[in-house]
Amino acid sequence: MNLLRTDLQTALQNLHVGVQESADNLRDLAEFIDDDDVAALFSSLADARDSLSDGLADAIRTAGDLPAAPNSEKEAGEHLIHRIRALFSADQTVSLISQCLEAEEHLHQVLTDCDALNPEAPYPHWREKVSAHLDESRAQLEQCLKKHGG
């Protein structure tokens, strides 16, 4: 293993960590929210993200690196902020779904940044797979938000 990461390894690492952080945040919100249907949606999205994360970890190993873990202190702070924002909102469910939609945009930006870092990377299937998942999850979250009056 090299001491310096290639652009491909860096792009895969960034995407892997972003997907894993997203899964962890969704799982945390699923445990916090009172609405069982929304909790089930968050859990389902988190499970799908875990699957993507596992595949990206394998791609990182194939690229000659070891997958990094998300920063647990950063995640704990984000979880606390999500909960505080929800507690002070008029509608906790709408607030949490909206926060998830914001997080989807952040993960989409991570994907875009990875493409900018290494636009000719030999992993177009991962870009397409993550992008398709984000499109689908965004649509599900938007539908859920409309259902809850947001």
Residue 113 located in a structural domain: yes
The backbone region for 33, taken as left when phi is positive above 0, alpha when psi lies in -120 to 50, beta otherwise, is beta
CA 19 – CA 29 distance, rounded (Å) = 15
Mean pLDDT of 100-117: 86
What is the DSSP code (8-state) at residue 68? P
Residue 75 located in a structural domain: no
Cα 35 to Cα 38, 89, 91, 120, 144, distances in angstroms: 5, 15, 11, 43, 11
Highest mean pLDDT: which range of 69-78, 84-93, 113-122, 130-139: 130-139
Could you read off the pLDDT of 129-149 as tens digits, one per residue?
A: 999 999 999 999 999 999 988
Residue 81 located in a structural domain: no
What pTM does this model have? 0.87
pLDDT of 10: 86
CATH value at residue 120? 1.20.1260
Residue 74 located in a structural domain: no
* Residue 39: pLDDT over 90: yes
* Residue 70: pLDDT over 80: yes
